[in-house]
Structure 1
């Protein structure tokens, strides 16, 4: 017999765990399926805007217990080394996914949450319910399934999502370091074929994560050679790497990153976080978007389960509208900036414009960040 639950969440990353805590707090039965054991590292910029702090505190998941770094300013530089800096209007904090995901996971477990270490192999919607099958051949039935499995999965192939069938030129690399780096700063440094973000996280560690064009990357024999031959062309990046010591055995990578249009709802599955849309690292706010999308999805689901939204179709339409209202412009800004930064001469012109008109950079930052989240009643 299938295991029954109200909500089944596929993926126990930041978005999935946030939704699990929100629904659990409302008394809804939730089963979360995550393929990897906790804790584990993920390729991520590990900067979060303060816009989500009130919501995390409402979930009784205040990240301050993890001793995150405080981030209040941003620096941007071009390949030539020219740079500009600005205050972050709302500010933010730096914390590793290794610590934050595990923290939320422990919160969910402590309140009786169910986490299954397994991989979902299929999801079928029929007769107003979902049938979910995992690789261990366990079956689940649920009133609603939430997709929170990250950037890409074999599930995307089965759902015939367009982006999964298209090759992407992007590769991301991430590692933690110890060394010299300015406090309260998130830096974004452009290099030929990509851009690199750096900021402090907990315990004075430095997170360095960059997005590279795979065609330029593959001509080098390894990551170290690529960094020294390409990233070091930007003097700021050269200084950061030369003053830092790698804390991982080796950097971790992920390829085939697609930043194209995705569906917020497909086959009645509600998608949240990177599963719904992958924002360019240039916007530096993917973690806040993941948390925010989990909150929007959870609130609408609760209204649907209480009968305040009359049917599934209405709920799905409202979710798509809310998603677009909160995130569509951010995604557009990310795509636009990425297209500009792929062309060195345009990047230099953009920086020159920001130097002459200093208000431009704070304006761009505002366009990639949201307002402080309203705490649910």
Structure 2
């Protein structure tokens, strides 16, 4: 058997890539997972997972119970001035760092028999005569029947594939810290500041994740991130107190630029796109990790159905995946994009806080619009 030929090559070892590769390999589908970094490593992420995926993870023996993830069931929202609203989360979720979770799933993938190439970067992918050729930066070439792209929010590959969204600059950047701080263990806090908002919640080991999304001009108008935080984020007294009382655990924050929430295709040139590669939900909706896990499961299930002869050909694989992906995620992404407009502005944020306080049941229904059903 050709050692460079696989049934499926998964590009990107985040949640969508890891879940899809594990599911495929467990079903006897020879799978290669390619990740450009080496586990474990940090990612800019809110690190909250909606309970919609918890039964699936438990069923698959992929729930990281031994890390004692935080249990999150309350939601706090503030405007820029620090006025606050509190409600219960309709479904709830749990908090765990990507540093631990991704490494845990990576170990599970290796145990399952997935071949994994870390510290490996893909330079191009082409499709010809019903087969993919995946070119690595080293010059090596690999072949597969299918490709799942799960390389995340933004990649050089997006330019290589000439994807539409990559042609436009995104106005957002994301920043993440881990910290030791006195903060309620069951709460997700979402705190507005001018041009952005900051999420705060517990993960494992008494650590708190502080992750915010900001318009790029906030940084452009200040000399560095620390100066921007003092000038912009500290206008919210809640954030000022959090940052000033926190013992930051990173030497410097994790930062990602050019975060785009524009629509993306779930299938491109016969490749299945999963996780943030197929569409990024705004962080204020708080369940991008759950969507990535679910989309990895959908992508792998569709391909497994092909090998089990429940789907007749490649065209049906692509149409089925696109259909199921849209059914589960298209509306949630749309609601997220619309809801995003309510944040980062005092007037709109104040209206949002007032709405949550006056109409908590309606606010819960809006939150449910950005979350999926338990599967």
Superposition TM-score, scaled by structure 2 size: 0.97
Does the 8 A contact of 1:177 with 1:246 survive in 2? yes
Q: Secondary structure at the match of 1:340?
A: coil
The partner residue of 1:337 within 313, 331, 339 is 339
Q: Partners of 1:361 and 1:316 in 2: how far apart?
A: 36
Q: Partners of 2:193 and 2:26 in 1: how far apart?
A: 45
Change in Cα spacing, 1:299 to 1:371, as seen in structure 2 (3 Å) is same
Equivalent residue, structure 2, for 1:78: 79
Q: Partners of 2:355 and 2:166 in 1: how far apart?
A: 37
Determine if the alignment matches structure 1 residue 3 to structure 2 residue 21.
no
Equivalent residue, structure 2, for 1:211: 213
Does the 8 A contact of 1:2 with 1:138 survive in 2? no
Q: Which moved more, 1:315-324 or 1:192-201?
A: 315-324
Equivalent residue, structure 2, for 1:108: 109
Kindly tell me the number of residue pairs found equivalent between the two proteins.
373
Equivalent residue, structure 2, for 1:173: 175
Q: How many Å apart are 1:255 and its aligned residue?
A: 0.4
Equivalent residue, structure 1, for 2:97: 96
Equivalent residue, structure 2, for 1:158: 160
Equivalent residue, structure 1, for 2:191: 189
Does the 8 A contact of 2:11 with 2:34 survive in 1? yes
Does the 8 A contact of 1:48 with 1:288 survive in 2? yes
Q: Which moved more, 1:282-291 or 1:237-246?
A: 237-246
Q: Partners of 1:58 and 1:4 in 2: how far apart?
A: 31
Determine if the alignment matches structure 1 residue 232 to structure 2 residue 226.
no
Q: How many Å apart are 1:315 and its aligned residue?
A: 1.5
Equivalent residue, structure 1, for 2:40: 39
Does the 8 A contact of 1:38 with 1:102 survive in 2? yes
Q: Partners of 1:33 and 1:266 in 2: how far apart?
A: 19
Q: Secondary structure at the match of 2:341?
A: helix
Q: Which moved more, 1:14-23 or 1:62-71?
A: 62-71
Q: Secondary structure at the match of 1:329?
A: helix
Q: Partners of 2:358 and 2:97 in 1: how far apart?
A: 36
Q: Partners of 1:18 and 1:358 in 2: how far apart?
A: 35
Q: Secondary structure at the match of 1:171?
A: strand
Q: How many Å apart are 1:2 and its aligned residue?
A: 7.1
Q: Secondary structure at the match of 2:360?
A: coil
Equivalent residue, structure 2, for 1:252: 254
Q: Partners of 1:196 and 1:92 in 2: how far apart?
A: 18
Equivalent residue, structure 1, for 2:68: 67
Change in Cα spacing, 1:155 to 1:2, as seen in structure 2 (3 Å) is farther
Q: Which moved more, 1:146-155 or 1:346-355?
A: 346-355
Q: Partners of 2:60 and 2:358 in 1: how far apart?
A: 43
Q: Secondary structure at the match of 1:182?
A: coil
Q: Which moved more, 1:296-305 or 1:196-205?
A: 296-305
Q: Partners of 2:344 and 2:232 in 1: how far apart?
A: 14
Q: Partners of 2:360 and 2:265 in 1: how far apart?
A: 36
Q: Partners of 1:110 and 1:98 in 2: how far apart?
A: 19
Equivalent residue, structure 1, for 2:88: 87
Deviation track 1:238-272 (CA, whole Å, cap 9, x = no partner) reads: 12112211100000100011100101000000000
Q: Partners of 1:354 and 1:49 in 2: how far apart?
A: 20
Q: Partners of 2:93 and 2:350 in 1: how far apart?
A: 27
Does the 8 A contact of 1:12 with 1:32 survive in 2? yes
Does the 8 A contact of 1:2 with 1:139 survive in 2? no
Q: Which moved more, 1:1-10 or 1:188-197?
A: 1-10
